[in-house]
Amino acid sequence: MAMPVYNAGNYLRPAVMSILAQTYPNWELLVIDDKSTDRSLESIADISDTRIRILSDGFNKGLAARLNQAIDQARGQFLARMDQDDISYPERFAKQLALLASAPELDLVAVRAIRISEENEVLDFFPSPLTHAEICARPWQGFYFPHSTWMGRIEWFRKYRYRVPQPYFCEDQELLLRSYCESKFASVPEVQFAYRVHATINLKKLLRTHWAVFKLQFLHFQAKHEFQFVLFALGVFLSRIVIDLTKLIKQYIALKAKIKISNIELQSEARQWDQLKIRFFSAETDTSSL
């Protein structure tokens, strides 16, 4: 499990605790510090588990470089990843490994996820197509395949690796675009992950990310002479700006005010999440309780 860390604050300990709670026991967690300045690593200093390795070299290299470092350091057959402020459900590893074992043709799998706020409230579901055909149906729209939930065969990661220097906040989309024609992806159908959404809305960052994705798509489809996909990607780029501005306004309202959850399936997931919150976000979470 690769977990690059940069100024994770109070979110790091619950994230690590969620890995300690995995029902599948044969894992190794690589916590890779990217020159944090907030002393967040101190929050896990008391955790004594030989399966956890903390790597720190005093440099700020960025997410893609740190993930490549994890690829080089990994000692198992599979590599998973997770962001520093998210939560893996206890069955996550077991379910992803079962899917990979049942389908040897699969290279990379994700899981369904809910989105949570900075205050740990359930917001909605993360879009999660399940099959390779669904995930890759419209490459000009990007890939709805949550990066923080990935688990894949280590040989796949070593074959493709992350591009360095990384494209602006879209290293996962670049990797998927470069590899999807020669790879097989899928997702676990059950929700096994909580993906954190932050309230701060950085419009400049959002627009730069959309532009970076479009440039990747333009170069990729142009090289393959798929000029119709270039036009589709341009249309998506323009429409996504308008759509995301609307979504950001709604998200901001939802994050600032408690919204009643009406979706029945989401209500069920919210109840499960409430139980996990107690487990991982108590004031003094003790590893012996996991």
Share of the chain above pLDDT 70, in %: 92
pLDDT at 244 over 80: no
Question: Predicted confidence band at 26 (pLDDT cuts at 50, 70, 90)?
Answer: very high
Mean pLDDT of 192-215: 88
**What is the model's pTM?**
0.90
Q: What's the pLDDT band for 234 if we cut at 50, 70, 90?
A: very high
Residue 289's pLDDT is what? 60
Residues of the chain with pLDDT > 90, as a percent, come to: 76
**pLDDT attached to residue 7:** 95
Average pLDDT over residues 73-81: 96
Residues 30-76: pLDDT tens digits? 999 999 999 899 999 999 999 999 999 999 999 999 999 999 999 99
- Per-residue pLDDT band for 263 (boundaries 50, 70, 90) equals confident
Q: What pLDDT band is residue 80 in, cutting at 50, 70 and 90?
A: very high
pLDDT of 277 above 70: yes
Structure-token pair, residue 135: 């995930």
User: Which pLDDT score is estimated for 283?
Assistant: 52
The 3 state secondary structure assigned to the chain is: CEEEECCCHHHHHHHHHHHHCCCCCCCCEEEEECCCCCCHHHHHCCCCCCCEEEEECCCCCCHHHHHHHHHHHCCCCEEEECCCCCEECCCHHHHHHHHHHHCCCCCEEEEEEEEECCCCCEEEECCCCCCHHHHCCCHHHCCCCCHHHCEEEHHHHHHHCCCCCCCCCCHHHHHHHHHHHHCCEEEEEEEEEEEECCCCCCHHHHHHHHHHHHHHHHHHHHHCCCHHHHHHHHHHHHHHHHHHHHHHHHHHHHHHCCCCCCCHHHHHHHHHHHHHHHHHCCCCCCHHHC
* Mean pLDDT computed over 229-247: 89
Judge contact between 111 and 92, C-beta under 8 A: yes
* Residue 144: pLDDT band with limits 50, 70, 90: very high
- Banded model confidence at residue 257, pLDDT cuts 50, 70, 90: low
**Where residue 259 falls among pLDDT bands split at 50, 70, 90?**
low
48 burial (CB, 10 Å; 0-12 / 13-18 / 19+) is exposed
Whether the pLDDT of residue 160 is over 60: the answer is yes
